[in-house]
Structure 1
């Protein structure tokens, strides 16, 4: 609909002219105000005519607005496809170079990878974010996206396959102590893999960890905020360590810390095999409102080289499997919570 005071005259003429013309008549200049049916062979226009009825002509042309727009869009799409193709090739080359770098040097700091490739850290992060990337960025390090097998990661814990059932029992019991909204520290170790898997999936949690295998499990959970502490990567335990990470952990307010141990002795306390883990475990215990130890019964009475805590600091100790009578008597004064295997 046209407003009052506007006049429209359409003329399908002068098709040879490849342009639109509007004419000035009298004292008023006609204003080209709009287009209608742009895909047709003629264009209908209307003019603002306040004081008098001015006559104007719409000169049609064979190349319609629709055709011009289509050409413009096709040109733009063609350029976009060329840019996308070039971008994909550049990303593929960067991934190949990153793969070569990781194969030769192992997990490498994100900043060093970006420096080697001559791009920004954000570019590297975007390259690694796609589902088809063979690499990942964890804790500020670029590393293989596929996790190595357990025996490769834990050369000091070769008995993993012999205690899987008891470890799972201990972790399922400990997972019952987690409540919705908790902020957790989850330790490293083959035992804690089962703990991360046992957490109820619907719970809203915040999780702090420093182990790659734990992060890989927790990162797939919905409603979970993950904080992965960074530093130097230790393949023997699949963990990261740095003084800065320990300091940062001390500033966090986790309310529950779940720790593993290679040994739990009444006199010698909780111990592990890797000395670099000690400072992280101790910082987690200091930061947490409550600390829990999670072990299978084979760890009771054992001592590993690196002591990290006396047993009386733990609110509860989840034990998978039933200890023998001598061990039960020895640990009688401690808050052991034994998860026995089902009777078959």
Structure 2
């Protein structure tokens, strides 16, 4: 194996281990120029081995192509991160919190204060991994059939467990928010758990970046009025502030 082949193999190993790496970071770690890295990336893109999204290079795992979870993680990352920080600030001692499917919900877990005692309910592997790092968090994990594209487990048993759970808060996510057609998701298999989570929680909190508004996806799981709180970013249209005000929804832009 020649030097270029060894470098590309090393690059792929880095990308397999990490969610997204910048060209600058790859160049530093491989001890080559950014021009060389970009040339290698073009070769890998032609072979459909990597994706390049929002300035990040990502390994193109074939099992994730249905939903492109890795791409979702880097889309509007800074906005989602601010939304997650605000959401985490709403968590209180002894809360029972349901964490929905979605990359923003995972980010919330990272900002849970280490000293706080809560019970967390989740259904995705990536959320579970982050929750395990919080020593004062008791975890309830919903099992079932594993959907690789979203890292979600889904089953009727999991839905029934949610229905028996009395939660103080749920952090819901969505792929689309429409004034007329409500709150929607991409995958219909998410609907059962999303709906049960909303019904089981005292306070319903929707975490959604501004690009999801005025967008409709196939799986409708809630009406806009089902939510008590919406947290989004500053790119939101002023019209939505008026809509949520009429529905008496607490509306935060971060």
> Does the residue aligned with 1:192 lie in a helix, a strand or coil?
helix
Equivalent residues of 1:319, 1:336 under 8 A apart: no
Superposition deviation, residue 181 in structure 1: 0.6
Match of 2:124 among 201, 211, 228: 211
Q: Distance in 2 between matches of 1:150 and 1:313?
A: 38
1:78-93 alignment runs, 5 A limit: none
Q: Distance in 2 between matches of 1:150 and 1:210?
A: 24
Deviations 1:312-344 (A, max 9, x none): 11111111233133444454424253333xxxx
Tell me the C-alpha RMSD between the 2 structures.
2.0
> Does the residue aligned with 1:289 lie in a helix, a strand or coil?
strand
Superposition deviation, residue 262 in structure 1: 0.5
Equivalent residues of 1:184, 1:257 under 8 A apart: yes
Q: Distance in 1 between matches of 2:60 and 2:216?
A: 21
1:1-344 alignment runs, 5 A limit: 152=61, 153=64, 154-155=67-68, 158-334=71-247, 335-340=249-254
Deviations 1:195-214 (A, max 9, x none): 11121121101000001000
Moved over 3 A (4+): 149-154, 156-160, 325-332
Q: Distance in 2 between matches of 1:173 and 1:267?
A: 27
Equivalent residues of 2:166, 2:200 under 8 A apart: yes
Q: Distance in 2 between matches of 1:287 and 1:164?
A: 29
**TM-score normalised per structure 2:** 0.70
Equivalent residues of 2:244, 2:251 under 8 A apart: no
Q: Which stretch shows the higher mean deviation, 267-276 or 323-332?
A: 323-332
Q: Distance in 2 between matches of 1:206 and 1:223?
A: 9
The runs of 5 or more residues in structure 1 that have no matched partner are: 1-148
Q: Distance in 2 between matches of 1:275 and 1:240?
A: 13
Q: Distance in 2 between matches of 1:315 and 1:275?
A: 24
**TM-score normalised per structure 1:** 0.52
Asked which structure has the greater CA Rg, the reply is 1
The runs of 5 or more residues in structure 2 that have no matched partner are: 1-57
Equivalent residues of 1:205, 1:225 under 8 A apart: yes
Q: Distance in 1 between matches of 2:243 and 2:117?
A: 38
Q: Distance in 2 between matches of 1:168 and 1:206?
A: 22
Deviations 1:219-250 (A, max 9, x none): 11011101110000001110001111111111
Aligned residues: 192
Equivalent residues of 1:206, 1:226 under 8 A apart: yes
Equivalent residues of 1:292, 1:318 under 8 A apart: yes
